[in-house]
Structures are given as structure tokens and as C-alpha cells.
Structure 1
Amino acid sequence: MKNFKSSALLTILIVLVISGTASAQSQGSYTYTYKPESQELYNTIVHMDSLYFNAYNTCDMDTQTAILADSIEFYHDRGGLMTSKKDLLDAIKKNICGKVTRVLVQGSIEVYAIAGFGAVEIGLHRFINHQESETPSKPGKFVVIWRHINNKWQMYRIVSLHAGN
């Protein structure tokens, strides 16, 4: 039942993100400006994002291990679903360390509170595959559901979309 609720929440979140993007595009002259409801929560999540991806970019596996929840679910538009923290960390170590750098699209992060649970982070990022080119990829969307438990923020669910790169 717990996995069903988690999957249902993630599905609803993805539909909202996609439909919000589509409706904003269909409005033509509509301009969207994001302003965080809580600047403190926004700053916290942006800081956690920077801590995690600094560790990702420098192959600091201890920091990544600490930030990823044991019950992580990583949804990748090309690679599918990964639910093993160990397998995810092994894949990062094998395929990312020293080979790929994540670059955040500045100003793209949005953060929304999830009452009694944590927060949702939505943003854009690019990747540099140093084995292929030093040119960053096209921006891709990402969604991270952050869980706040025992005074600690953890990445609980991650969706990574690459926009046809």
C-alpha cells in the first residue's frame, strides 16, 4: 500500500508538471514567474541540490550515499526505473564519475512544500559528457521529491527527463 501511495503521488506530480507546461505554452501571451512560497524552504532545497550535485560531479560517494534515501526510486526517461540505492550508486560510480558533469540551469529551480513530508524540487539541468564533447546537452527537466526525516533532507524520488537530447 505504501508503494502504491508513493507511485500514485509521483504519477500525479508528473502529470501536473507536464500539464502545467502544456497549458502555459498554449496560453500564448501568458508569462510565468516563479516566486517561492517559503524562501527558507527554497534556500534549503537549493542548498541540498548543490550539495548532492557537487558530490555527483566530484565522485564523492559518501555524500551521495548520505543524501539518497535507502528507499530511493529513480525514474529516468531513457534508463527506466531504478529502486536499489546500491545499484544506483554503482551505476553513478561506473558511468558518471570522471566522465559526466551536471550543470544546473541557473534560476530554473522551483520548490513546493509537501505538508508533513518534505518538498518537491522542479528544475532544468544540462550534462557535459566529457568523453563525447565539452558542450553541455540541451536542458532537461528534473523533479526531486525530498523527504525531511530525523532533521535530515533526503532525495526520496527522482525523475530525470532529457528532452530529446
Structure 2
Amino acid sequence: MKSKLLLVLALGIFTISCVSIRAKSEVTVVKKATYIPVDQELYNTIVDLDKRFFDAYNTCDLETQNELLSEDIEFFHDKGGLSTSKTQIMEAMKNNICGKVTRTLIDGTVEVYPIAGYGAVQMGEHKFYNNQEPSAKSIPSKFVTIWKNDNGNWQMTRIVSTHKN
């Protein structure tokens, strides 16, 4: 009888422990608040500029890409490192991107915030597709772009590109 009581007690403690551990290990999901632009006109301007640049990127319009990249560009890529030469960046796009890679913006991911006296910061997610391997899977990646407004002439001055894999 004593051994049955100890067994029931041990099973009870074990069950309570398991429930307690499970309760502590559950992940809490916090829903991100819906983004609302602080300046709708600025948001529209930056989204239009992003579209203009990447339409050019997707169609190998190097002239438009060159126009939208600042001479003092800094491009930070988590896998490729830092590039600061506009000439080298343009050459790399010509040799490695034109006709080979397509970028799509992921709807609903773009956020734009003003930078007083400078321009704006854009953040979002996009995908790149290798046109040489149409069945290859594309994983969303994050980006941050700093846009400088020089009397209505907008250019990208800093770009940060990261990947999940």
C-alpha cells in the first residue's frame, strides 16, 4: 500500500512538473502593430523611387540605376561585405545581375520614416529570383535604404541587405 501511495505521489509530481515546464516553454507571439506612414506623401515618394530603381534593376536599365545611386554610396551586404565604389557596384550589376536576377518587393513590408534635413529611411522585405534557375526557391530578405533628398533629387546613399540563410 505504501509503495502504491509513493508511486501515485511520484506520478503526480512528475505530471505537475511536466505541465509546469510546458507552460514555461511556450512561445508568446506578439502581433506587430500595423504600420501607418507618418508622412504619406514621403512614403509614396520613396515607394515610387524603389519601384523605379528595381524596375531598372529587373530590366537592366543601368542608366536609371546609376542616376539613383549616390556617388558616395555605401552598400552593406551580409554575405558580400561593404562596397563603396559606385563604379564597381554598377559593374557588378552589369556583369552579375542584368538578365540573371529579378527582385520583387513583398507587399505590406515597406516602412518609410523621414530623416530631418536629409531625406528618408526605407525598410522592408524583398525576394530575388535567379532567372537562370527558375525552379530555385527564393527566401525573403530584409533591407534598409537611406535616401538623400538634394533639392528634389533623390538618391540612395546607404543600403543594407541581409539574408535569412
Q: Shorter chain as normaliser: what TM range? A: 0.7 to 0.9
The 5-angstrom pairing of residues 49-60 of structure 1 reads 49-60=50-61
The 5-angstrom pairing of residues 1-165 of structure 1 reads 28-164=29-165
Letter in 1 for 2:128: F
1:19-53 CA distance string (max 9 Å, x none): xxxxxxx8633332100000000000000000000
Letter in 2 for 1:130: N
RMSD: 1.3
Deviant stretches of 4+, over 6 Å: none
**TM-score, normalization: structure 1?**
0.81
Letter in 2 for 1:162: H
Structure 2 regions of 5+ residues with no counterpart? Answer: 1-26
- Partner Cα distance (1:73, 1:145) in 2: 10
Q: Is the 8 A contact 1:126 1:136 kept in 2?
A: no
Q: Which stretch shows the higher mean deviation, 149-158 or 126-135?
A: 126-135
Question: The residue matched to 1:94 in structure 2 has which SS?
Answer: helix
Letter in 2 for 1:119: A
- Partner Cα distance (2:149, 2:106) in 1: 25
Question: The residue matched to 2:108 in structure 1 has which SS?
Answer: coil
- The corresponding residue for 1:3 is none
Q: Is the 8 A contact 1:57 1:102 kept in 2?
A: yes
Give percent identity, aligned residues only: 55
**TM-score, normalization: structure 2?**
0.81
Distance 1:73 1:27, change over 3 A: farther
- Partner Cα distance (2:115, 2:59) in 1: 30
Structure 1 regions of 5+ residues with no counterpart? Answer: 1-25
Larger gyration radius, structure 1 or structure 2: 2
Q: Is the 8 A contact 1:128 1:134 kept in 2?
A: no
- Partner Cα distance (1:134, 1:52) in 2: 25
1:74-132 CA distance string (max 9 Å, x none): 00011110000000000000000000000110111000000000000000000110112
Q: Is the 8 A contact 1:127 1:136 kept in 2?
A: no
